[in-house]
Structure 1
Amino acid sequence: MKIIGIGKNYVSDKTEIKELKTGTQTIFTKPESTLVTGNKNIVYPKVTKQLAYEVELVIKIGKKGKDIEFEDAASYISEIAVGIDYTAKDVLSASRETKGPWALAKGFDGASPISNFKPVSNFQDLNNINFDLVINGEKKQVGNTSFMIYNFNEIISFVSSFMTLEPGDLIFTGTPASGTGLNVKGDHLQASIEGELLLDFKIV
């Protein structure tokens, strides 16, 4: 099972989308060992002092596909969840200084908590899904998929031109353009899709 992420994929103003849609998507991968499910609490990782959160919708691939056409891409989505794409920001900054990879900054244990999945049939319009993140009772991030630079279909089509997508593969589809920040021990995170609380855990 692959975990794929897309970076810098949301705007705060929809008029920016056309200019930013260059055809080149920022793609990275994360190991399966980053996953945390069942709303388990996350131990603050020893490898960082800057644990940066980004709430994202996560799509699950339901069937095998390679070189998937844009028009067919949505049929490859079986389920949708909400998750947090964690980054060890200080580790990433150090890596960038030497033009190094993102692997360690994105790939530490606990870096990908996700909720239970909802069937894709529950969503009438994949380009109009609301989601949000609340930390310690305060709403920090609010997103809607209509603000994506590259929508689900475009992501699936692009990624599958490089690698075969297989059932169970997960794609983190990007975080809202504002509201990201750092977590500390004791933080309580709650993420919802269309007002339904699905992800609920603490940093311990």
Structure 2
Amino acid sequence: MTTPLLWPIDQVTLPVVGRPEAFPVRRVYCVGRNYLDHIREMREGDERDDPFFFQKPADAIVADGSSVPYPPQTDDLQFEGELVVAIGAEGADIGPGDALAPVFGFAAGIDLTRRDRQRECREMARPWEAGKSFDHSAPCGPVLPADQAAWSPSGELRLSVNGEPRQHTGLNLMIWNVPEIISHLSGSYRLMPGDLIYTGTPAGVAPVRPGDRIRVDITGLPALTVAISEGDTCAPQRTA
């Protein structure tokens, strides 16, 4: 057995409701454009496109109750409240009728976005990584095992900032529901235990600043709360 050239990489994990074991995170997939009201809010038309996906690094995960430092290279950090699906079994080319079989559980999540960088990427026809895949960009709450049956596809998602409501939707308003998302994604990637899928956000996204506290509530799931803190003083913000 060889010795690693560099220091060992810590495994990113999330707590599991009612279990002593933690959920080890492998990959983080995110669905784009999955609520019609958000598509219109972003002025991107109103077509029902095929779902598309982007990824965030596993170490972008931030646990419930954490502080998220305001990231560098942006003046427009925005929240996107989302339902998160945790995968617990391997699968590829899964049909929609079988797509819930590999699901381990569900959680509340936030897709933090450097909106100004994302817009720049879109205008230049470049990948979205600069706007989406930065440090601390994927807060996620505790994972509720699917067999506890507390989550329902007819539930609601609510996000508040400093106690003020900002986002509210029925999960049934997703353009692509959870089985369809899993089916499409598994046609491009072999899903593996430890994968997380952020399923898209509704309208109501807006900027946050240091000192703001964000909370996501999804029917039947543990709440997720994070606070935005001052950023690294060594990483200056963008200037006009």
State TM-score, norm by structure 1. 0.90
AA of the residue aligned to 1:41: S
Work out the CA distance in 1 between the residues paired with 2:196 and 2:222: 20
- Aligned pairs, how many? 196
SS at match of 2:97: helix
Cα offset, 1:36, TM superposition: 0.7
AA of the residue aligned to 2:84: V
Cα offset, 1:52, TM superposition: 1.2
AA of the residue aligned to 2:98: D
- Specify the alignment match of 1:36 in structure 2: 62
Contact 2:151–2:221 (CA<8 Å) still a contact in 1? Answer: no
- Specify the alignment match of 1:2 in structure 2: 27
- Specify the alignment match of 2:159 in structure 1: 133
Match of 2:209 among 148, 161, 184: 184
- Specify the alignment match of 1:116 in structure 2: 142
Work out the CA distance in 1 between the residues paired with 2:59 and 2:73: 15
SS at match of 1:91: helix
- Specify the alignment match of 1:155 in structure 2: 181
Contact 2:159–2:217 (CA<8 Å) still a contact in 1? Answer: yes
Contact 2:161–2:212 (CA<8 Å) still a contact in 1? Answer: yes
**Which one scores higher on RCO, CA 8 angstroms, separation ≥ 6?**
1
Work out the CA distance in 2 between the residues paired with 1:139 and 1:121: 30
Cα offset, 1:195, TM superposition: 6.8
Percent of aligned pairs sharing the same letter: 34
Cα offset, 1:45, TM superposition: 0.6
State TM-score, norm by structure 2. 0.77
Contact 1:21–1:150 (CA<8 Å) still a contact in 2? Answer: no
Unaligned runs of 5+ in 2: 1-25, 38-45, 230-240
| Larger helix fraction of residues | 1
SS at match of 2:31: strand
Contact 2:115–2:131 (CA<8 Å) still a contact in 1? Answer: yes
Q: Post-superposition, which runs of at least 4 consecutive aligned residues in structure 1 deviate over 3 A?
A: 19-22, 122-126
Contact 1:34–1:112 (CA<8 Å) still a contact in 2? Answer: yes
SS at match of 1:101: coil
Contact 1:5–1:28 (CA<8 Å) still a contact in 2? Answer: yes
